Amino acid sequence: MTRLSRRAQNRIERENRFLDAALKVFSRTGYTAANMDDIATEAGLSKPTLYQYFGSKSDLFTAMMLRARGAMMIQFDTGDAEGMVPVLHQFAWNYAHTVLSPAFLSLARLIIGEVQRFPEIGRAYQAAGPDRLLQGIMDYLTAQRAAGRLAFDDPELAAEDLWGLILSAPRTRALHNPQATATDADLKRYIDNGLRVFLRAYSTQPARDLAQLESLLKPEPQAKPDTAAQATSETGTT
């Protein structure tokens, strides 16, 4: 692996600071009210430096959304050696933890509130976020179909079914009620059931894939305590 120069590392670090700051500002104020001055201040860097990295607020917003997409899609790019079922399982959790994060829920609510007056903001959000994510899911599922693991006629409908089964209900509830925070236990209920339904509908070998999924869903066995060490601890003997 090629080691990055210190200059390249610094550039990546500054870029990530700007992207982190952008998410905070956009999720706090919405797209229309956000400005580059506030984002630079949030990042603790100068506005001219911000413009060296991102030429406009629109470019910054797109880059922010693309980074989130990358975090959700990373398993599709790196995990295929593990097999389709573990990849889908990990994607589901990456997706859930990203879109149900407080910042992204707040951003989505604010964008929805702005689209009536500024429809171009809704189009930009859709194009940079959900549309690109959907295309990535379609590409992965299409590759699995070519490998003989899935069967479907319409990649878009299959992809929509996957993310809808995984998270549609808890995300809709969280968007409408900020107090309706889903715990990991809540998410597991939806994710596990959604993947089971998806595999029954689309897998070419559903019995095998469902068995693999169930093995992933089993809790990790807890190690048995060392009884001799425990007895020593309790009695204070050596």
For 37-96, what is each residue's pLDDT tens digit? 999 999 999 999 999 999 999 999 989 988 888 888 887 877 666 799 999 999 999 999
CA distance 69 to 137: 11
Q: For position 158, which CATH number holds?
A: 1.10.357.10
CA distance 102 to 235: 49
Total domains in the chain come to: 1
Judge whether 155 lies within some domain: yes
Using DSSP's 3-state secondary structure scheme, residue 161 falls into helix
Judge whether 107 lies within some domain: yes
Judge whether 146 lies within some domain: yes
Judge whether 42 lies within some domain: no
Judge whether 25 lies within some domain: no
Judge whether 43 lies within some domain: no
With beta carbons less than 8 A apart as the criterion, state whether 22 and 38 touch: no
CA distance 187 to 96: 8
Judge whether 169 lies within some domain: yes
140-164 confidence digits (pLDDT tens): 999 999 999 999 999 999 999 999 9
Q: The domain containing residue 131 runs over which residues?
A: 57-217
Q: Output the pTM of the full model.
A: 0.80
